[in-house]
Structure formats: structure tokens, C-alpha cells
Amino acid sequence: MLRPMWPALTILALLVAGVCFVALRRYRAEAEAERAKQQQEFEALRQQHEQTQARELAQQQALFNSMSEGVLVLDADGRVRLVNQALERLFGTTGDLRGRTVMEALRLHQVQELVNRTLIKGQVDDFELELPGLDCGRSLQVNSAIVLGQDGRQQGLILVCHDLTRLKQLENTRREFVANVSHELRTPLSMIKGYVETLIDGAKDKPEVAFKFLQTIEKHADRLTYLIEDLLTISRLESGQVVMNLQRTDPRAVVERVISDLESKAAAKPTHLVNEVPTALAANADADRLQQVLFNLVDNAIKYGQADGNVVLGARKTDNKQIEVWVRNDGPGIPSEAQPRVFERFYRVDKARSRDAGGTGLGLAIVKHIVQSHGGEVWVESEPGKGAIFYFTLPEA
Ligand code: ADP
């Protein structure tokens, strides 16, 4: 009964097998396509992730590089993971520091010690670091801390370095200035007190001596007045309180006024004041401040020039639209090593001579300030024994 059905069953079985085979192949092809699609999606995701990471790293680096503080990040093995440009500048390093240890990267035992202390304490604040330098060193203040991951495990360490060099220099200048001012004020005051005491003790009864002493007291009181006036001028100039009233100014006319103001002082030495400034020049300047500059320079030229010498004032138009003015005097001049320093506050080549002549040590500092406020420059040229020439420039009107 079954025998006649065999062929039919065989055909049916073959048919079923064929259908299954085709279905399997299609399934496999579909699965393959699905896997390829997933692979593509995965690859796209991976690339996207990498791009995000690279972007974040670049942003992080840009952020670090925009900081004025030097930043150094170490990984859990104590090797450099990140440094910013400020740190490279501060420590003068070159090349890629990543992957190196602190000692290899910075070659400073103090930094290694700081890292060790941070690993023990977790955080170190305000560590002072002095970096040796060619001319003068650098002073850094370093804060450091361990970096922890979300799981609370140590991931590395971060050092942030603040450059205190400029701040320290300013602090030194301020301290020196205060010390100088105190000294300058105390010297005439103690002289005045000394002479007054001597007068009280009996010198007042000897008219000739008393007159001489009173003259000396007057001289020191004048010095105190000049010093206080100069200090106030410097302070006003430095705090920007002085507004330059720039206008078309004739330098020859200003020189004429200064010569007339200093005529009697020049006659006492005696010194011949000569105005050689051409008539056709015009500067864009504050006339009163220009007068102060010229007064200080001519006053010095008389004080430090030789007796019976000449003080000559001249001016010219330069190629770059400036008016260059100079004041020349005869006399011993200024040694070359002192020339760049005479514009510093309270710097004097010969302290005794300056004080004797009633100098405050601030005249040239005031000159420099005023000239620079006009956008000009001031400098001195001098050969020992051949006098000195002070130059300054002003914008042309
Ligand atoms: P001071 O009140 O002592 O004159 P300044 O600032 O005007 O202070 O000048 C600083 C120093 O520069 C003076 O003490 C002096 O030693 C030197 N100096 C200034 N002008 C001249 C000059 N024309 N010739 C020689 N030395 C000068």
C-alpha cells in the first residue's frame, strides 16, 4: 500500500529540502547583511566616539593653553599626561614631555619632592619654588593635588604653577621706594633738628653763626618742600591722575620761558643758557608738562655742568614725524654704566653732590614719565669729561 507512494514522498522530501535550503540561504544572507549593517553602525559609532574624544582633548588642551598658570598633569604611573604652553614657558622646556617622569621632564628635585609630598598628603598649597635663570631667577607658587576617579581611586596628579616673579619685583620696588623716601625725608629733618638744637643751646646769641645756621635750615626746609612736591608729581603721574592736555605747542617758546625761570640760577654759577631751537617747529604736547621736562633738564644741566660753561638747547624734526629736543651741557658728564640708571627714582651718580645742589633724585624720573605719557622716548649720551646731552622726542603737531 505504501510502495506506490515512495516516489511521491521522495519528491515531497526533495521539495521540502529545497525550500529549506533556499530559506536557509536567504536567512544566512539576511543575517550577513544585518551583521554588516551592525558592523557599519558600530564603526560609525566608534569613529564618532574617537572624534568626540579628540575634540574634547583639543578643547581641553586649548583651555589649558589659554591659562596664564602653568599646568602639569601626571597619570597614575607618575608620567606626564598633559602640559600646557605656560608651563613649557615657565620651565623653559622643549619637545614633547608626555610619557616622561617629572624628573626626566623638568629636571628639578624640588618638583619631585612636591609630587612625593602630594602623594602622601593628597594636596599641597602655596609651595614656593625658585627657578634658576640666566639673568635673574623666577619665583613660582605651586598648588598640587591628587586626581581621583569616580571609583575613588587615584588617577593621577595635577600641578598648577603661578608666576610670582613680576609681583615680587613690584613688591621689592615698592619696599625700596618706601625705604628711600623715608631716608630722603629723614635726612633734611634731622639736619634741621640738629641746627635748631645748636641754636637753642647758645648759637642764637652769636648773630653771624645764627644767620649761617638759619640759612642752612632754610636750605633743608626747601629740600623737603621740593621732595614732597616731586613725590606728589610722581604719584599723580603714576596713578594716571594727570591728563595730558595735548595741543599744538611751540618748543622754542617753552624753552624761552624755562630760560627766563632759571636765569638767576644760571647767573649765580655762572652758566650761559643758549636757545638754538628753530622757530618753525610744532609739537603735539601739553605745554605745562613740556615746561616741567625742560625745567628739570636745564636745572640739572646747570647743577652738574661746569662753572662758566654753556647749556645749549636745540631741536629738530625727525623722519618719523617726531620732534627731537636736546639739552647739552659741558662738564664731567655721566659714566657709561650710570647712563641707563639716571632715570630711576632716587638714583644719583654722586649722592653728596646731588643733595648739596638741592636735588631730590626724582627729576629725571618725572621727565621720563611725562615724555612717555606723550608717547615719546628719553635718553642720554655722554662721554666722560665732555659733558652730557639729554634727548627726548614728542609727536609732531
Ligand atoms: P637729582 O635731584 O639728584 O638731580 P635727577 O633725577 O634729576 O636727580 O638726576 C639723577 C642723577 O643724574 C643726578 O643725581 C646726577 O648724578 C645725574 N645727572 C642728571 N643730569 C645730569 C647732567 N646734565 N650732567 C651730569 N649728571 C647728571
| Residue 349 Cβ < 6 Å to ligand 1 | yes
Report the nearest atom of ligand 1 relative to the CA of 390: 23
Task: Give which of 90, 157, 148 is closest to 119, Cα–Cα.
Answer: 157
- pLDDT (tens digit per residue) in 238-260: 888 888 999 999 999 999 999 99
How remote is the CA of residue 277 from the centroid of ligand 1, in Å?
23
CA distances from 237 to 49, 57, 204, 230, 240 (A): 58, 47, 43, 10, 5
Rounded Cα distance between 218 and 229, Å, is 16
- Cell output for 124: 599641597
Distance between CA 119 and CA 129 in Å, rounded? Answer: 18
262 lines ligand 1 (CB under 6 A): no
Quote the ligand 1 centre to 282 CA distance (angstroms).
28
Q: For position 135, what pLDDT does the model report?
A: 61
pLDDT tens digit sequence for 268-299: 999 999 999 999 999 999 999 999 999 999 99
Closest residue CA from atom 7 of ligand 1? 363
Q: What ranges make up the beta strands (E) of 240-280? A: 247-249, 271-275
Pick the atom of ligand 1 nearest to 327's CA. 23
Q: Is the pLDDT of residue 3 over 90?
A: no
User: How many CA atoms within 13 Å lie on the side-chain side of 286?
Assistant: 15
- Amino acid 147: pLDDT: 93
The string of pLDDT tens digits covering residues 147-169 is 998 888 999 999 999 999 999 98
Spacing, Cα 384 to ligand 1 middle (Å): 14
pLDDT band at 63 (very low <50, low <70, confident <90, very high): confident
Tell me the pLDDT band of 109, cut-offs 50, 70 and 90. very high
Which domains are present in the chain?
Answer: 64-163 (3.30.450.20), 165-242 (1.10.287.130), 245-397 (3.30.565.10)
User: Is the CB of 378 inside a 6 Å radius of any atom of ligand 1?
Assistant: no
Partners of residue 309 on adjacent β-strands:
271
DSSP-assigned letter for residue 358: T
CB of 304 within 6 A of ligand 1: the answer is yes
Taking the mean position of all CA atoms in its chain, how far away is CA 18?
Answer: 88
> What is the arithmetic mean of pLDDT over 215-238?
92
CA gap 329, 343 in Å, rounded:
17
Q: Which of 241, 88, 270, 52 is nearest to 161 (CA)?
A: 88
Cell of 389: 646731552
**Alpha carbons 43 and 45: distance in angstroms, whole number:** 5
CA-nearest residue for atom 13, ligand 1, is 348
Which of 226, 269, 330, 342 has most ligand 1 atoms within 8 Å of its beta carbon, as the pocket-test mutant? 342
